[in-house]
Amino acid sequence: MTTFATGTDDTTRKRVLRTEIPGPRSRELQRRRADTVAAGVGSALPVYVTGADEGVLHDVDGNTLIDLGSGIAVTSVGNAAPEVVEPLRAQAAEFTHTCFMVTPYENYLAVCEELATLTPGEHEKRSALFNSGAEAVENAVKIARVATGRQAVVVFDHAYHGRTNLTMGMTAKSVPYKHGFGPFSSEIHRMPMSYPAWDATGGPEAARRVLDRIEKQIGGDQVAAVVIEPIQGEGGFVEPAAGFLPELSRWCAENGAVFVADEIQTGFCRTGTWFACEHEGVVPDLITTAKGIAGGMPLAAVTGRAEMMDSVPPGGLGGTYGGNPVACAAALGAIRAMRERDLAGAAGEIERRGLSRLRLLAQRSDRVLEARGRGAMLALELVGPDGHEPDPELTSRVAKACHARGVVVLTCGTHGNVLRLLPPLVIDPALFDEGLDVLEQSLFEQTG
Ligand SMILES: *Cc1c(COP(=O)(O)O)cnc(C)c1O
């Protein structure tokens, strides 16, 4: 058994490897899974989890792994955080469901009030609650179409918006998200993204390139919505050059189009502010949220300008489970934890600790094209020995080497060549540093 001291005296929050990863019991469950779970549902690291806490996952073989993925940016407040679990338990004991569209309840209202307060802009706002990020994006498009009476939806290269039919069409990457699943919805128009690691075009200039295309190919007066992630998630943690987002947002305001910020991954303190749009003072007309909103419970929202949101008549938005009372109780707890524990500040601290180390790695290795990120959304983009060609094989090998050492990291990017770190915002700094040590060791081991 290998125990790694982490500087915390809580023995449950240490990396402990008792078996190889995945261990024998996980491998046994993996065999059982193959006979019962559809092959199309993948797992980045098939260790079977029995418990989790602030920055660690405990598995069926008695191993404890460092979690630098947060279940894809979800457990920002920690896993089974007391601020989430206690109200969730209390709500579940009162009632678990009525359907807000049948007989409503108060905590749905309280979540919408929090969303109105926390999202950028001082204007009058309304929200509608859903179950998943994809559902929120779909509903943002529905609302934008009714509000404008137009149909065209502008999306970007490398975008990720979900796996339902409409959002698959909005997502850029074919394999594995779209391949074979068409036909997709019409009136989706893809535009070039500002991607500073590969293209030095400045933000405003990159935006003008997009706007010129919109005007020539779609017609400015045909655009219902421009939908963009302020920092792209699955697409490779792509942070557009300064000025790109404000210019798109300004154009939307001038042309009667709805500017939709998909903050499903970047929202709720992940990037060091409540929402990533705040970094450049951009105020979206509609904002979609999910992932970090409810400490792991399924909840999503569209929040936006009252006159746009209210353009859809009663009955036009909803769903059986949308804004489930247990999920709403969890969200109120998660938001309280973010506020009281200053988790936006904690994300900034993770950036200060992590990004400098990743930048050093980039200087020391010619296989790292760029270290980048904001807050607790950090990435390394890896390339081949020529220093230019994206290297997904290397990326996958480094991720697997981290996994074997008990550190959960994820990959992303259109070319699959980006290693991404999404630690819980409450992670112990010593544990985070240890995860970075393992990443460094794994990178140099795999690049020789
Ligand atoms: C994860 C994600 C989605 C989809 O959310 P689901 O809950 O998986 O449907 C949409 N947009 C962005 C930016 C995401 O990161």
| 418 torsion bin: left (phi>0), alpha (psi -120 to 50), beta (else) | beta
H/E element holding 325? helix 325-340
Which of 340, 356, 385 represents a domain boundary (last residue)? 340
For ligand 1, the distance from its centroid to the CA atom of residue 305, given in whole angstroms, is: 22
CATH of the domain at 40: 3.90.1150.10
Inter-CA distances, 28 with 240, 285, 292, 304, 322, Å: 44, 49, 32, 47, 36
pLDDT(188) > 50: yes
One domain for residues 331 and 240: yes
* 232 in a structural domain: yes
pLDDT(7) > 50: no
326 lines ligand 1 (CB under 6 A): no
Angstrom distance (rounded) from CA 53 to CA 12: 8
pLDDT(432) > 50: yes
247 lines ligand 1 (CB under 6 A): no
* 12 in a structural domain: no
For ligand 1, the distance from its centroid to the CA atom of residue 66, given in whole angstroms, is: 23
161 lines ligand 1 (CB under 6 A): yes
* 7 in a structural domain: no
pLDDT(8) > 80: no
For ligand 1, the distance from its centroid to the CA atom of residue 411, given in whole angstroms, is: 15
* 350 in a structural domain: yes
**Which burial class, exposed, middle or buried, applies to 397 when counting CB atoms under 10 A from its CB (0-12, 13-18, 19+)?**
middle
For ligand 1, the distance from its centroid to the CA atom of residue 257, given in whole angstroms, is: 23
| 191: nearest Cα among 168, 215, 167 | 215
One domain for residues 91 and 190: yes
236 lines ligand 1 (CB under 6 A): no
Which of 287, 311, 340 represents a domain boundary (last residue)? 340
One domain for residues 206 and 299: yes
At 46, list the tokens: 């098939």
- Classify 436 as helix, strand or coil: helix
Tally: H helices and E strands in the chain: 13, 17
* 305 in a structural domain: yes
Angstrom distance (rounded) from CA 132 to CA 139: 11
For ligand 1, the distance from its centroid to the CA atom of residue 163, given in whole angstroms, is: 8
* 415 in a structural domain: yes
Cα 144–Cα 147–Cα 153 angle in degrees, nearest 5: 30
pLDDT(430) > 90: yes
265 lines ligand 1 (CB under 6 A): yes
One domain for residues 112 and 215: yes
One domain for residues 413 and 303: no
105 lines ligand 1 (CB under 6 A): no
One domain for residues 296 and 169: yes
DSSP 318: -
What is the per-residue pLDDT across 243-260, written as a single tens digit (0 to 9) for each? Answer: 999 999 999 999 999 999
pLDDT for 10: 55
* 13 in a structural domain: no
One domain for residues 194 and 214: yes
- Contact indicator for 286, 253 with CB cutoff of 8 Å: no
Angstrom distance (rounded) from CA 345 to CA 272: 6
- Contact indicator for 58, 100 with CB cutoff of 8 Å: no
Angstrom distance (rounded) from CA 320 to CA 102: 9
**Which burial class, exposed, middle or buried, applies to 278 when counting CB atoms under 10 A from its CB (0-12, 13-18, 19+)?**
middle
- Contact indicator for 111, 128 with CB cutoff of 8 Å: no
Which of 311, 340, 369 represents a domain boundary (last residue)? 340
One domain for residues 186 and 324: yes
Angstrom distance (rounded) from CA 30 to CA 43: 10
One domain for residues 132 and 153: yes
- Domain range for residue 34? 24-67+342-447
Residue-averaged pLDDT of the chain: 97
Q: Please tell me the residue having the least CA distance from ligand 1 atom 5.
A: 133
Confidence of residue 3 (pLDDT cuts 50, 70, 90): low
One domain for residues 268 and 162: yes
pLDDT(11) > 90: no
| Strand order across the beta sheet in which 258-262 lies | 125-130, 300-305, 286-289, 258-262, 223-228, 152-156, 188-191
DSSP 294: G
264 lines ligand 1 (CB under 6 A): yes
One domain for residues 143 and 275: yes
Which ligand 1 atom lies nearest to the CA of residue 131?
A: 7
Backbone φ, ψ for residue 44 (5° rounding): -65, -40
pLDDT for 448: 84
* 75 in a structural domain: no
Mean pLDDT of 274-291: 98
Number of domains in the chain: 2
One domain for residues 368 and 291: no
CATH of the domain at 182: 3.40.640.10
